[in-house]
Structure 1
């Protein structure tokens, strides 16, 4: 099994609607916070700042339960699959200990100077698949 990170999320007042629910757009932003934390902890800052970076090409999210204003929220992130130029991340948003939404994202390694996709570097592959 690949490495899983847990990222605590700080909710903002603007994330909550008049019914005291965290809206779906905010939940998607929480998944993005989890991705950045995963990249920093597993791959290092170079994946966020270097010429080779990871960009999102597809995301599918299922909303399973309500997230309430006072629920403590955590996002888990796991790399499910590493392909030639892409990787698939699976994330869960947990609120008060229960899974409230799940997201699966396909990410591509992108070479910004050439503006083309690139193979997943061997060092990244090893870190993504490490236990």
Structure 2
């Protein structure tokens, strides 16, 4: 599991004083970026081949308020041949209360040729190792 501390910005807050749902998706994207870097050794700046989101589902459990210390926890829950599934939790980093959960299916994609491709064995091995490490926790 990779944990990403989030710096809440003034623009993230709506008129009701809580983090807007759209901005929570941005937080999950930051979690993905840290996950790619720490687990796969990749940066999210792809020109030819990389990863795209093909499906996501978000459950907003509890409002996230202005000035709360928050973090995104990202872990892998499934590894396939062309895709893998990430699970994110937006948490209060002091109380560990889960605010929002999201799953995202990521697909290896060739941007030049506009099609998915089978993930390299190295990616699959790293993703599987990370998933097994999380299962042991």
TM alignment of 1:24-63, pairs within 5 A? 24-45=21-42, 48-49=45-46, 51-63=48-60
1:44 Cα deviation after fit: 1.3
1:19 to partner: Cα distance: 2.3
> 2: CA distance between counterparts of 1:34 and 1:127?
17
Please report the TM-score for the alignment, with normalisation by the length of structure 2: 0.87
Q: Does the Cα contact within 8 Å between 2:36 and 2:43 map onto a contact in 1? A: no
Which whole-Å CA distance do the structure 1 matches of 2:55 and 2:39 have between them? 21
Deviation at 1:52, TM superposition (A): 2.3
Q: Distance between the aligned counterparts of 1:52 and 1:83, measured in 2?
A: 17
C-alpha separation between the residues in 2 aligned to 1:42 and 1:12?
Answer: 27
Which stretches in structure 2 are left out of the alignment for 5+ residues?
none
- 2:121 equivalent to 1:122: yes
Of 65, 75, 78, the match for 1:68:
65
C-alpha separation between the residues in 1 aligned to 2:43 and 2:113? 17
Aligned residues: 128
Asked if the contact 1:42–1:128 (Cα under 8 Å) also holds between the matched residues in 2, the reply is: yes
For the residue of structure 2 that corresponds to 1:128, the secondary structure is helix
Tell me what 1:109 maps to: 108
TM (normalized to structure 1)?
Answer: 0.91
Range that drifts further, 92-101 or 4-13 = 92-101
Q: Distance in 1 between matches of 2:107 and 2:123?
A: 12
Structure 2 CA distance for partners of 1:12 and 1:47, relative to 1, 3 Å? closer
Aligned Cα RMSD in Å?
A: 1.4
CA distance in 2, matches of 1:22, 1:87: 28
